[in-house]
Amino acid sequence: MTPGHDEAAFTELYKAHYGAVRSYASACVPNSEVDDIVADTFVVAWRRFADMPDDWARGWLIGVARNVVRGRRRTSRRATNFVEQLINLRPADASGLEGDDVPLEDLEVLKRAFGTLKDSDQEILILAGPYDMSTQEIAVALGIKANAVGVRLHRARGRLRSASEAQVQDGGEAA
Amino acid sequence: MSADPIALLDRLSPPPGWSERTDLDADPVAAQILDQVFAGDRNVISLDDARRRRRGIGGAIVVAALVAGGAVAAIWNRTPSETARVSCWSEAVADPPEVLGLPWDGQSDPATMCADEWSSGAFRGSPPPDELEMCVTENNIVAVIPGAPGACGELGLDEFSPSPDVSDPSVIELQRRLDRAFNNETCQPPDRVMEETRTVLDEVGLNGWSIIAGAESADEPCATVLLVPEKAEVIVLFVARQP
């Protein structure tokens, strides 16, 4: 054990956030790679336990996981469409959506529109949307200031709306 | 589209576990990963290792080809047996205080990968060293250490040279021919790869070479090849379809 590290405290942190890291990894990489992303994330977390902000541990861990995913993506040359992953991950007997049924065509439009966005837009939209992370938590995860999160999120949402409109328009013209 | 895309996005559920606390007694995978973290052996991507062992092929070979996308993978001069990972060392000492393990495709420049990590503050925010050297450890893992040329030797480690070591003209011709045959498509049908490889081996006169095939699976329908001159083998690997 590295001096200064507290296994008991780290185990508590691990129990609290293992699920979150696994959930995030599941949206970023194929199932076959999730275990490795989770493991590598907590290896870094253990080494840098002393640097972890107590109040924003989950955001910090998601930031580490994000870097691990980026490192792996660099080697696999695979881009991630988060929404496609999320929709594909839904259980066979459920829509994957909370609330009322949503027309499949709307989901398809969303998926296509999302796929046109750059990674940084997809990332912040996913963290603020399905993952429902707070502005401060996202700021910790992305390593930027909370104000910048607000600005980026506003712009990303605008681009998603524009992209969705374009997809609808393209679909209408094609029909 | 009738629904507001932002509202629709907000209604998507994240994958399971996001807000759940993990019971280590009930989740053996979680418990195993934590054990690995504490044991300090997660520098090795053990789950990947297990998959490679199931394929029955040396780790270096499989991973080096995973991103080849049909291309014939290069052969390193000092071939490490573990190319799934590059280790970035915080100090050029025999037992560095911090070692960062990075997934490696076997082709990217390890020094650049570690330099990126230094720049991103992975070593407690320490500034990147002026020079990095690539070594091969006793365990046959590529280690990138701070230091000038010769730093590897001072630690008793071999230098790692990412240059092909193929001197036999027939092997060079084999690599060139296979590269030309397979490098233009991202997913090669296994049957075609096997047949073409046999043909090229015959044509370049490497009759003593063997073709060894890994295990095909539904998730990995594409074939790629890797040459191992020192064993006179062409390895046919099955890899996932590249987007």
Taking only the tens place, the pLDDT of each residue in B126-153 is 787 888 888 887 666 788 999 887 788 8
**Do both A175 and A96 map to the same domain?**
yes
Alpha-carbon distances, residue B135 vs B48, B58, B83, B155, B157 (angstroms)? 23, 20, 13, 9, 6
B48 — contact with chain A (CB < 8 Å)?
yes
pLDDT tens for each residue of B184-242: 566 777 778 888 888 888 888 887 777 877 666 666 677 777 777 666 777 777 666 65
Give the domain-ending residue among A49, A78, A107.
A78
**Do both A172 and A121 map to the same domain?**
yes
Residue A86 inside a domain? The answer is no
Give the domain-ending residue among A56, A78, A100.
A78
Say if the Cβ atoms of B18 and A19 lie within 8 Å: yes
Residues of A in contact with B42 (CB under 8 A): 39-40, 42-43
Rounded to two decimals, the pTM is 0.51
Residue A83 inside a domain? The answer is no
Which token pair is B62? 């499989």
ipTM exceeding 0.90, yes/no: no
Q: What is the mean pLDDT of each run of 10 residues along chain A (175 residues)?
A: 68 95 87 83 85 86 85 52 60 48 77 85 90 91 85 93 89 57
Give CA–CA dist B120/B109, Å, rounded.
17
Burial class (CB in 10 A: 0-12, 13-18, 19+), B235: buried
Whether the Cβ atoms of residue B237 and residue B211 lie closer than 8 Å to each other: no
Residue A54 inside a domain? The answer is yes
Give CA–CA dist B22/A37, Å, rounded.
17
Whether the Cβ atoms of residue B21 and residue A15 lie closer than 8 Å to each other: yes
Query: B239 pairs with which residues across the strands?
Result: B222
Say if the Cβ atoms of B15 and A86 lie within 8 Å: yes
Say if the Cβ atoms of B47 and A39 lie within 8 Å: yes
Residue A67's CATH number: 1.10.1740.10
Give the domain-ending residue among A43, A78, A113.
A78
Beta-sheet pairing, B158-159 with B132-136: antiparallel
Residue A100's CATH number: 1.10.10.10
Which token pair is B130? 């002026």
Residues of A in contact with B15 (CB under 8 A): 22-24, 26-27, 86, 89
Q: Which residue of B has its CA nearest to A128?
A: B10
- Residues of the domain holding A156: 92-175
**Do both A104 and A57 map to the same domain?**
no
Which token pair is B145? 């250490």
Whether the Cβ atoms of residue B158 and residue B136 lie closer than 8 Å to each other: yes
pLDDT tens for each residue of B12-54: 888 888 888 999 988 888 888 898 888 764 433 322 332 232 2
Residue A87 inside a domain? The answer is no
Give contacts of B 86-145 with A, CB under 8 A. 98, 100-105, 108, 113, 120, 122, 124
The total domain count for chain A is: 2
